[in-house]
Amino acid sequence: MSQTDFTSLKLHPALLKNLSTLGYQFMTPIQEQSLPHILKGKDVIAQGQTGSGKTAAFGLGLLEKLNVKRFRIQSLILCPTRELADQVAKEIRKLGRAIHNIKVLTLCGGMPFGPQVGSLEHGAHIIVGTPGRIEDHLGKGTLQLDDVNLLVLDEADRMLDMGFQSQLDNIIERISRDRQTLMFSATFPDQIKAVAKRIMQQPVTVHVESTHDNSTIQQHLFKAEDNLHRLTILRLLLQQYQPESAVVFCNTRIETQEVADELSYFGFSVMALHGDMEQRDRDQTLVRFMNKSISILVATDVAARGLDIESLDAVINYQIARELEVHVHRIGRTGRAGNKGIALTIITDKEKFKLAKLEEFLQTSIEPEAIPPINLLDKPSYQPSMVTLQIDGGKKQKLRPGDILGALTGENGISGKQVGKIQLFPNKAYVAVSREVAQDALRKIGEGKLKGRTFRVRQI
């Protein structure tokens, strides 16, 4: 398949030079199809899966359009979750690092309001945020969108799924009609079409088929007799494949919690992720899953949207998703960036019609396979190689990742190879360490000093 180089685009030389230093040479299909239209100032509806390179597509478009000397909010990007907003802001800063004095600001719920007001008073060029918090700022008069000339709705389908319709309408009403609007969505239900018709002007539609090479993603199907048997099969599959990181998708919040509780009862390293969780618990769950100290995440589709999970070993469909495009989207989360992955699906006779529709949709036949041997359940449940330590200090206490790494690997410390991901929050820090050195790591931080101070630390 021929690939198109970024240099074929009419981009600012500084942006092209930066893309080259980032190792971005060829465009992904979604970038190749949407960027020329975006750069011409057209409204674009782009349908593509997570991991398709959509952030760089709209990110380069808005950076090219940006007038840095004009210190006003010129672009607004709306995202369904805080995780996605943070990820998008990070990518735009990376893409725009060759442009001096560019200011990207994230405004999301679950974060203190006051500091955001202070940041807004200092001004920004680009705002990335969640609809609820953006609406709050508009209501309090702390955010002005009069100068916005580019609006991006990222993962628009999930924003509607999560009930943000009225907030979106309210926000869009405050932005000039004389703007460019870009909409990115993994699925394209009728509700999205209706929104697009209302807020966009002669949009160009770009659709990138979700194609998964069998060499990177292996799909397997298993047949359960009933729901109790379904859970047994899930346990067998986890014991058979022992994925370092796996997402088990359930169709409802209640089922998500029930499946996570059952797996936990049988000794698996597992946590649930669904919409009823407090932001603090959600943050901690994601920290532990992303740093490989939790092996299994049981999640609903809405809760898992926007997660930037690298190298996911397995996706397990506890049932086939209600919408076929969502099912394909789930599968696309494994085997990304050239890594190998497996997609395992469990069905009962009641779901045969869904399987037939899925086969038709994928234009392939999926045959049920033999269930792994039952004696796998006699073995202890496998455990992750890492554990997470929580330190009661973070960015506000001026802690940096280097301080934590230094404290752990200093005199008589553990080796740098035994330290995993370090993540800092305003008043907390999390560090993953190898399970076998967890006690040594606790002692090093608990008895030592960080920034000249002693901090409480515990294993979670």
Domain that holds residue 61: 6-207
| Percent over 90 (pLDDT), the chain | 42
Please give the Cα distance from 76 to 153 (Å, whole number).
9
Question: Is there a single domain that holds both residue 187 and residue 157?
Answer: yes
- Out of 378, 408, 438, a domain closes at 378
Residue 112 lies in a domain: yes
- 89/236 same-domain check: no
Average the pLDDT over each of 9-13, 118-122, 275-279, 431-435 and give the range with the smallest value. 275-279
Q: What local confidence, expressed as pLDDT, does residue 371 receive? A: 92
Same structural domain, 31 and 170: yes
Write the pLDDT tens digit of every residue in 105-163.
Answer: 999 876 788 999 999 999 999 999 988 889 989 999 999 999 999 999 998 887 876 66
> What pLDDT, on the 0 to 100 scale, is given for residue 338?
43
Q: How many CB atoms lie within 10 A of CB 174?
A: 15
Domain boundary among 184, 207, 230: 207
- 229 and 173 within one domain: no
Q: What pLDDT is attached to residue 399?
A: 83
358-395: per-residue pLDDT in tens? 777 777 777 888 999 999 999 999 999 999 999 998 88
Q: Give the residue with greater pLDDT, 245 vs 277.
A: 245
In this structure, the answer to whether residues 226 and 318 fall within a common structural domain is: yes
**How many folded domains does the chain comprise?**
3
Residue 336: predicted pLDDT: 46
CA distance to 20, 79, 285, 384, 414, per residue, from 436 (Å): 41, 39, 22, 11, 10
124 & 221 share domain? no
Domain assignment present for residue 1? The answer is no
> Do residues 391 and 430 lie in contact, with contact meaning Cβ atoms separated by under 8 Å?
yes
pLDDT bin (cut points 50, 70, 90) of residue 82 is confident
pTM check: above 0.85: no
The answer as to whether 212 is a domain residue is: no
Token pair 């618990």 in the structure block, residue = 281
Q: What is the band of 219 on the pLDDT scale with cuts at 50, 70, 90?
A: confident
End of a domain among 160, 178, 207? 207
Choose from 88-97, 204-213, 217-226, 362-371 the range with maximum mean pLDDT.
88-97
Q: How confident is the model at residue 209 (pLDDT cuts 50, 70, 90)?
A: low
What is the C-alpha to C-alpha distance for residues 124 and 306, in angstroms, rounded to an integer? 24
Where is average pLDDT lowest: 20-29, 37-46, 244-253, 367-376?
20-29
Q: Which whole number is the average pLDDT over 215-237?
A: 85
Q: What is the mean pLDDT of residues 226-247?
A: 92
Residue 297 within a domain:
yes
Residue 312 reports pLDDT greater than 80: no
CATH number of the domain where residue 69 is located: 3.40.50.300
Tell me whether residue 133 is in a domain. Answer: yes
The whole-chain average pLDDT of the chain stands at 85
pLDDT digits (tens, 9 = 90+) for 322-335: 777 777 767 766 65
CB atoms within 10 A of CB 57: 26
